[in-house]
Chains A and B, each alone.
Chain A
Amino acid sequence: MAETMQFDLVSPERSLMSAQVTAVSIPGTEGDMTAMPNHAPTITTLRPGILKVETEKGTESFVVTGGFAEIGEKLTILAEKAVPHADMDQATYEALVKEAEAAYKEVKDAYFENEPGIVDEAAKLLQDMVAVGTHIGLDPMSPNF
């Protein structure tokens, strides 16, 4: 039997999952990482992506839009918004992309086009969101940049 750790996935509105898991793939802002039991204590922020949770019974995945993860003796993910992969359909996904797109446009209008930092970040967020679509087999749509 593989070693397990306590895993909690919570969003502000509800707690989505709480279980013993063997490994969790986290879409971190600076790259994906997989946390297994006895991982070094780490706190990382999340980018829009797919969270893959491996338990002894099987694998579950969630689409998260952002938030952060705290890895310690147990693993807690505080997601801004998290949707189980199974519940994710084109309509929900499109709403998420639209949201990211709107945020990007707003930032782009408010700041100079090429100002580094805030505009780039919003653009990256949008691209990540689009990439999620490709990963889960939904039409990624191609927003106008």
Chain B
Amino acid sequence: MPSLKDLKNRISSVKSTRKITKAMQMVAAAKLRRAQDAAEQSRPYTERFNEVLGSLAASVGDSPTAPKLLSGTGKDDVHLLVVMTSERGLCGGFNTNIVKLAKTRIAELKAAGKTVKILTVGKKGREQLKREYADLFVGHVDLSEVKKLGYADAQGVAKDILTRFDAGEFDVATLFYSVFQSVISQVPTAQQIIPASYDAPEGEEGATALYDYEPDEERILADLLPRGVATQIFSALLENAASEQGARMSAMDNATRNAGEMIDKLTIEYNRSRQAVITNELIEIISGAEAL
């Protein structure tokens, strides 16, 4: 049975923990709003970009001279997995879920006899994957110094990936990140970025042929595809940032609630033992008086 003083200390320590988690929850809520805004702002660009690229890809797609970024290298022996996670912890199962998805994919690919390479973005996923797959690592992108995600950050990641692709280091690249659905639901997703698959706009068959291209279609496509990679990475990064804050917010909400419950329980226990002590003392006094 813990003493009264012990109980009192525990209550005050849980109280300060609750203060911290509460503060973290509010910070996450504020950051989430900003992250969602950023994702919202980038959406028009991404959508238009994919539309244009889609119609271009549809018109050039099957020609033998199509750029490799679109048609692939013709093999799928070496897979590059780009695993995007957060730089900080305390965000519930966010990182673990992404890593779990990546691990499943690694196991599948290995079973199929493919070579797997891993590039991580964000410290947390790196730590988790390094334990098992240290030998598969080809690189890591550190974004811990970045305060506000910019397109330049995505370009940096894209450049890294494209240089490796040009050097023939891999055939297929897949992005792993979390899609933000709501504060309580983030869906880990795998998205193939190289070779790129763009959906041609629906319904308007032949509409693509109406465009004049300056310079010609293939040069434009060759110019746009690397940018498409950067754009996809950028939207994945933003989506991931929003997911991270959402996950942190609900994790901290849970923690705050748990701390509250614990305080209630401890307070009851504290009051009970305080009463027990008083009763004990009374009994002692009364029995002492009776003995006289």
Contact = CB atoms under 8 A, between A and B. Distances in A.
> Are A and B interaction partners?
yes
Interface of A: 8, 10-15, 28-30, 40-45, 67-68, 70, 72, 76, 78, 80-81
Contacts of A41: 210-212
A78 B49 contact: yes
A18 to B, nearest CB: 9
Contact of B213 (A10, A14, A43): A43
Contact of A45 (B210, B212, B223): B223
B54 to A, nearest CB: 12
Contacts of A43: 52, 56, 211-214, 220
17 contacts: A8-B44, A12-B46, A12-B231, A12-B234, A13-B151, A14-B41, A14-B42, A28-B214, A30-B215, A41-B212, A43-B213, A44-B214, A44-B215, A44-B220, A45-B214, A70-B52, A72-B211
Given A13-B151, A41-B211, A43-B211, A80 B48 contact: no
Nearest to B214: A44
Sort A-B residue pairs by CB-CB distance and give the 5 closest, nearest first. A44-B214, A12-B151, A14-B41, A42-B212, A10-B45
B48 A10 contact: yes
Contacts of A68: 52, 220, 223-224
Main secondary structure of the interface of B (DSSP, over half): helix
A42 B211 CA distance: 5
A40 B219 CA distance: 20
B200 interface: no
B225 to A, nearest CB: 12
Contacts of B210: 41
A83 to B, nearest CB: 13
B136 to A, nearest CB: 28
Q: Give the size range of B's interface with the partner.
A: 20 to 34
Contacts of B49: 78
Contacts of A45: 214-215, 219-220, 223-224
Contacts of A42: 211-214
B38 interface: yes
B154 interface: yes
Nearest to A33: B214
B209 to A, nearest CB: 10
Contact of A13 (B42, B211, B214): B42
B48 A15 contact: no
A114 B219 CA distance: 21
Contacts of B214: 28-30, 42-45
A90 B157 CA distance: 28
Nearest to B155: A80
Interface in B36-94: 38, 41-42, 44-46, 48-49, 52, 56
A12 B150 CA distance: 9
Interface in B130-159: 150-151, 154
B124 interface: no
B227 interface: yes
Contact of B212 (A12, A40, A67, A76): A40
Interface string B228-256: 00010010000000000000000000000
Nearest to B37: A14
A81 B215 contact: no
Contacts of B227: 67, 80
Interface in B2-49: 38, 41-42, 44-46, 48-49
Nearest to A70: B52
A70 B48 contact: yes
Contacts of B46: 12
A29 B215 contact: yes
